[in-house]
């Protein structure tokens, strides 16, 4: 079985970004970039399926600038077999990503696409669902546990208040939640071996997709600073504040 | 410092303190990123406990071997791997292993880095096949024993004698300050097989479970996670087949190690200095005294600037030395003095960072306190500052 794993290059999760002074976005210059943590979980799950003998080939895809190749190399070092880089400069919105992925799915015919549930940069949480809709495939989002057996994948999902289990016919789309697994660190020899694994370079036009943004960013601002709390002297004062200031009673 | 989501908001970090290297490629960055994850997950959370316990647990050697750390730079046929690895991968490895501020952990895990190379360089095929795979898989350890109770750096005058008797050598003598000596299974031992001077020294592989070997643990100022021993050889019979290289030509085998070791030690010392600055800068920006942040006192922020000045200059020189070695040179003067430069920088930064933290620096369980206790082992081990300067001066033709 072939698995497709899209991976996104984002700001390293350890770092904090600053908003550009013109409020047009965030300033990423000179900051360390890394693979989106949810995508790492997706790669890990695919590699585990391969180690179990369920999966035979893992193709890692990234849509982004030239440097997204490093993100693909990380996936290859973790255990993916080959990569596809769709070179696009500038922001690519989830719908364009989903359309490009649809083109790749049609060319590659994987049985399973495992994606991160969202990327930590724009937190859109849309690509997997859009791809499922475009392909007409079943989707199991926010996966907590995945079991693949012959022509079915059983996905235990994290939903509000508990877990929900769905059985999907293959081919299918799965998006990963945080607790699905703990991604491995690539071993040092595998980092070196990954340099020899092939990466195809494509353009969005190869899949007939126009990546021009459909959304307009009006402005980006810092989240409001946290205000210090106040101490109340009596229960009566607390109830009064909850009623008249917070408006929650 | 961290924001509400736990992200670092600090601007003076271990990474920002390193001057950007023109020699680093994508491969080096990927290497560092993976090592960082490995160290953060498998090493850093435990270093304090291991340091206090005086040992790195056995299973960690296997984990480190599976990750590729123990085999890096060694031949593939013995379970190591060399593909695409250059000097800068070595520099980065030393730096990332130094980051948790527990040199003893690194010393314990990487002690084969001094014990194994002589065997691979001049040992017999049988010896390599018998020893190297077990060591590189993390199953067995090998140490190196040169220093003796009567002298250290003066390798040409060592006293431990191996006397040929039939198909055996009989070894009598003692070795001192042997890193990993208590726990290692094998030891590459410098012995006197011939007359006085460098021309009478041989290297002998001694299995440390042989009758007549006794070991005494030595307590140290720092590097607690790594054991150190005095080894005593009392009529120890060692087969002649254990001779590493040619009889009475062991001196060159000993010297083979030193230049690589110095580059590694300089990398580790400068990275430890960066760890000190990172913690001191975070403290100075948070701690308030006399109505303002410590960092707002000129005397404190100048300390930080002086530490950064030394680390930047030394690390730039380190990169240049590594580049020269990478290109086939052996710049002895530079490597010797770089080691001195690095350990003096470490000493300065451990001191100044401690002054900035004040009483907190004196409390156990954090990096600056551990690193402070490791200054001397860096400044003395692998060639003391005095020996390094003298070697450089003589090479300079003074």
Identify the CATH number of the domain in which residue A118 sits: 3.40.50.620
pTM for the full predicted model: 0.88
Strand partners, B2: B8
Q: Is B20 on the interface with A (CB under 8 A)?
A: no
User: Nearest CB to A16: which of B3, B26, B66?
Assistant: B3
Domain span at B161: 142-248
Q: Is B14 on the interface with A (CB under 8 A)?
A: no
- In terms of CA atoms, which chain B residue is nearest residue A189? B68
Question: Is there a contact between B34 and A191 if contact means CB atoms under 8 Å apart?
Answer: yes
User: Nearest CB to B37: which of A15, A185, A189?
Assistant: A185
Q: Which residues of A touch B38 (CB under 8 A)?
A: 185
Strand partners, B175: B231
Percentage with pLDDT > 70 across chain B? 96
Query: Which of A75, A183, A185 to probe by mutation at the B interface, max B CB count within 10 Å?
Result: A185
Query: Hey, what are A10's tokens?
Result: 């984002």
Identify whether residues B89 and B120 lie together within a single domain.
yes
What pLDDT sits at residue B9? Answer: 56
Which band of pLDDT confidence, cut at 50, 70 and 90, is reported for residue B10? low
Residue A242 lies in a domain: no
Identify whether residues B259 and B357 lie together within a single domain.
yes
Q: Which of residues 89-148 of B touch A (CB under 8 A)?
A: 89
Q: What is the average per-residue pLDDT within B358-372?
A: 95
What pLDDT sits at residue B5? Answer: 47
CATH code at B113? Answer: 1.10.540.10
Question: Is there a contact between A77 and B33 if contact means CB atoms under 8 Å apart?
Answer: no
Counted domains in chain A = 1
- CA-closest candidate to residue A154, choices A221, A54, A244: A54
What pLDDT sits at residue A245? Answer: 86
Domain span at A90: 2-224
What pLDDT sits at residue A31? Answer: 82
Question: Is there a contact between B68 and A193 if contact means CB atoms under 8 Å apart?
Answer: no
Question: Is there a contact between B27 and A191 if contact means CB atoms under 8 Å apart?
Answer: yes
Identify whether residues B306 and B280 lie together within a single domain.
yes
Integer CA distances (angstroms), B106 to B32, B58, B112, B126, B186, in order: 16, 14, 11, 29, 19
Q: Which residue has the higher pLDDT, B260 or B37?
A: B37
Whether B6 has a pLDDT exceeding 50, the answer reads no
Residue-level length of chain A: 249
> Using one digit for the tens of pLDDT, what is the confidence trace for A29-61?
878 899 999 999 999 999 999 999 999 999 999
- In terms of CA atoms, which chain A residue is nearest residue B84? A192
CA distance B10 to chain A (A): 9
Residue B15 lies in a domain: no
User: Could you report how far apart the first and last alpha carbons of chain A are, in Å?
Assistant: 56
Identify whether residues B256 and B353 lie together within a single domain.
yes
Burial of B371 (0-12, 13-18, 19+ CB in 10 A): buried
Residue B194 lies in a domain: yes
Residue B3 lies in a domain: no
Residue A43 lies in a domain: yes
Q: Is A190 on the interface with B (CB under 8 A)?
A: yes
Q: What is the average per-residue pLDDT within B382-386?
A: 91
> Using one digit for the tens of pLDDT, what is the confidence trace for A106-152?
999 999 999 999 999 999 999 999 999 999 999 999 999 999 988 99
> Using one digit for the tens of pLDDT, what is the confidence trace for B174-185?
999 999 999 999
Q: Which of residues 128-147 of A touch B (CB under 8 A)?
A: none
Determine phi and psi for B214, rounding to 5 degrees. -125, 150
Question: Is there a contact between B68 and A187 if contact means CB atoms under 8 Å apart?
Answer: yes
What pLDDT sits at residue A191? Answer: 93
Residue B320 lies in a domain: yes
Residue at which a domain ends, from B105, B136, B167: B136
Q: Which residues of A touch B85 (CB under 8 A)?
A: 192
Residue at which a domain ends, from B181, B214, B248: B248
Residue at which a domain ends, from B248, B265, B296: B248
Identify whether residues B321 and B338 lie together within a single domain.
yes
Query: Cα separation of B102 and B116, whole Å?
Result: 23
Identify whether residues B96 and B129 lie together within a single domain.
yes
CA distance A151 to chain B (A): 34
On average, the pLDDT of chain B sits at: 93
Residue B14 lies in a domain: no
Residue B322 lies in a domain: yes
Identify whether residues B244 and B263 lie together within a single domain.
no
Residue B16 lies in a domain: no
Q: Is B68 on the interface with A (CB under 8 A)?
A: yes
Identify whether residues B162 and B288 lie together within a single domain.
no
This complex has an ipTM of 0.81
Query: Which of A10, A18, A188 to probe by mutation at the B interface, max B CB count within 10 Å?
Result: A188
User: Nearest CB to B34: which of A32, A70, A188?
Assistant: A188
Identify whether residues B285 and B367 lie together within a single domain.
yes
Residue B18 lies in a domain: no
Question: Is there a contact between B9 and A190 if contact means CB atoms under 8 Å apart?
Answer: no
- Could you give the dihedral angle defined by the CA atoms of residues B14, B19, B21 and B25, in that order, rounded to the nearest 10 degrees? 30
Query: Hey, what are A167's tokens?
Result: 């059985």
Please report which residue ranges of A136-174 form alpha helices under DSSP H.
none
- CA-closest candidate to residue B354, choices B374, B370, B369, B344: B369
Question: Is there a contact between B34 and A186 if contact means CB atoms under 8 Å apart?
Answer: yes
Identify whether residues B213 and B158 lie together within a single domain.
yes
Which band of pLDDT confidence, cut at 50, 70 and 90, is reported for residue B1? very low
Q: What is the average per-residue pLDDT within B24-31?
A: 91
Classify the C-alpha dihedral A131-A135-A138-A144 as positive or negative: negative
Tally C-beta pairs within 8 A across A and B: 59
CATH code at B175? Answer: 2.40.110.10
CA distance A131 to chain B (A): 30
Query: Cα separation of B92 and B228, whole Å?
Result: 26
Residue A243 lies in a domain: no
Query: Cα separation of B361 and A163, whole Å?
Result: 47
Residue A16 lies in a domain: yes
The residues, any chain, with a CB within 8 Å of residue B66's CB and separated by 6 or more, are A187, B138
Question: Is there a contact between A34 and B33 if contact means CB atoms under 8 Å apart?
Answer: yes
Percentage with pLDDT > 90 across chain A? 83
Q: Which of residues 207-236 of A touch B (CB under 8 A)?
A: 226
DSSP letter at A109? -
Residue A229 lies in a domain: no
Q: In 10 A of CB A81, how many CB atoms?
A: 19
Counted domains in chain B = 3
Identify whether residues B52 and B125 lie together within a single domain.
yes
What pLDDT sits at residue A115? Answer: 97
Which band of pLDDT confidence, cut at 50, 70 and 90, is reported for residue B197? confident
Q: Is B386 on the interface with A (CB under 8 A)?
A: no
Identify whether residues B150 and B230 lie together within a single domain.
yes
């Amino acid at each position: 079985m072939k698995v497709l794993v899209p991976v996104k290059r984002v700001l390293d999760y350890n770092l904090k970004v600053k908003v550009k002074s013109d409020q047009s976005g965030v300033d990423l210059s000179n900051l360390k970039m890394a693979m989106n943590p949810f995508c790492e979980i997706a790669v890990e799950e695919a590699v585990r399926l391969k180690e179990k003998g369920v999966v035979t080939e893992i193709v890692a895809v990234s849509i982004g600038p030239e440097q997204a190749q490093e993100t693909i190399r990380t996936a290859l070092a973790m255990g993916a077999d080959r990569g596809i880089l769709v070179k696009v400069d500038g922001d690519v919105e989830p719908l364009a990503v989903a359309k490009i992925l649809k083109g790749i799915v049609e060319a590659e015919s994987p049985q399973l696409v495992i994606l991160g549930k969202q990327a930590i940069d724009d937190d859109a949480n849309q690509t997997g669902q859009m791809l499922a809709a475009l392909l007409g495939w079943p989707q199991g989002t926010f996966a907590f546990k995945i079991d693949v057996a012959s022509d079915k994948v059983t996905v235990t999902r994290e939903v509000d208040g508990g877990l929900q289990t769905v059985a999907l016919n293959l081919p299918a789309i799965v998006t990963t939640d945080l607790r699905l697994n703990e991604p491995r660190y690539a071993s040092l020899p595998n980092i070196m071996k990954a340099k020899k694994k092939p990466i195809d370079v494509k353009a969005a036009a190869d899949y007939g997709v126009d990546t021009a943004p459909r959304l307009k960013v009006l402005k980006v601002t810092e989240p409001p600073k946290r205000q210090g709390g106040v101490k109340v002297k009596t229960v009566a004062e607390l109830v009064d504040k909850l009623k008249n200031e917070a408006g929650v009673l | 410092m961290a924001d509400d989501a736990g992200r670092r908001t600090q601007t003076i970090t271990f990474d920002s303190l390193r001057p950007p290297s023109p020699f680093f490629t994508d491969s080096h960055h990927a290497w560092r990123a993976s090592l960082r994850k490995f160290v953060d997950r498998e090493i850093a959370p435990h270093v304090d406990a291991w340091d206090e316990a005086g040992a790195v647990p056995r299973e960690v050697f296997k984990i480190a071997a599976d990750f590729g750390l123990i085999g890096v730079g060694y031949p593939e046929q013995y379970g190591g791997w060399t593909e695409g690895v250059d000097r800068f991968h070595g520099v980065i490895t030393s730096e990332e292993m130094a980051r948790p501020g527990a040199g003893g952990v690194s010393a314990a895990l990487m002690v084969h880095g001094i014990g194994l190379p002589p065997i691979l360089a001049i040992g017999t095929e049988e010896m390599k096949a018998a020893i190297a795979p077990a060591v590189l898989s993390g199953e067995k350890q090998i140490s190196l024993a040169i220093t003796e109770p009567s002298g250290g750096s003066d390798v040409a005058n060592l006293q431990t004698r191996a006397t040929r008797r039939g198909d055996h050598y009989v070894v009598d003598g003692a070795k001192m300050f042997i890193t990993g000596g208590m726990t290692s299974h094998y030891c590459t031992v410098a012995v006197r097989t011939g007359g006085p001077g460098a021309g009478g020294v041989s290297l002998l592989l001694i299995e440390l479970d042989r009758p007549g070997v006794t070991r005494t643990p030595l307590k140290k100022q720092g590097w607690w996670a790594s054991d150190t021993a005095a080894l005593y050889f009392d009529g120890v019979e060692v087969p002649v087949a254990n001779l590493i290289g040619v009889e009475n030509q062991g001196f060159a085998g000993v010297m083979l190690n030193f230049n690589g070791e110095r580059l590694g030690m300089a990398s580790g010392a400068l990275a430890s200095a960066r760890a000190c600055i990172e913690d001191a800068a975070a403290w100075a920006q948070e701690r308030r005294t006399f109505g303002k942040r410590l960092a707002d006192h000129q005397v404190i922020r100048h300390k930080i600037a002086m530490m950064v000045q030394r680390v930047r200059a030394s690390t730039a020189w380190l990169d240049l030395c590594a580049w020269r070695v990478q290109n086939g040179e052996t710049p002895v003067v530079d490597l010797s003095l770089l080691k001195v430069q690095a350990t003096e920088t470490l000493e300065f930064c451990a001191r100044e960072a401690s002054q900035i933290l004040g009483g907190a620096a004196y409390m156990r369980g954090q990096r600056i306190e551990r690193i402070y206790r490791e200054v001397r082992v860096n400044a003395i081990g692998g060639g003391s500052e005095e020996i390094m300067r003298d070697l450089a001066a003589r090479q300079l033709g003074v």
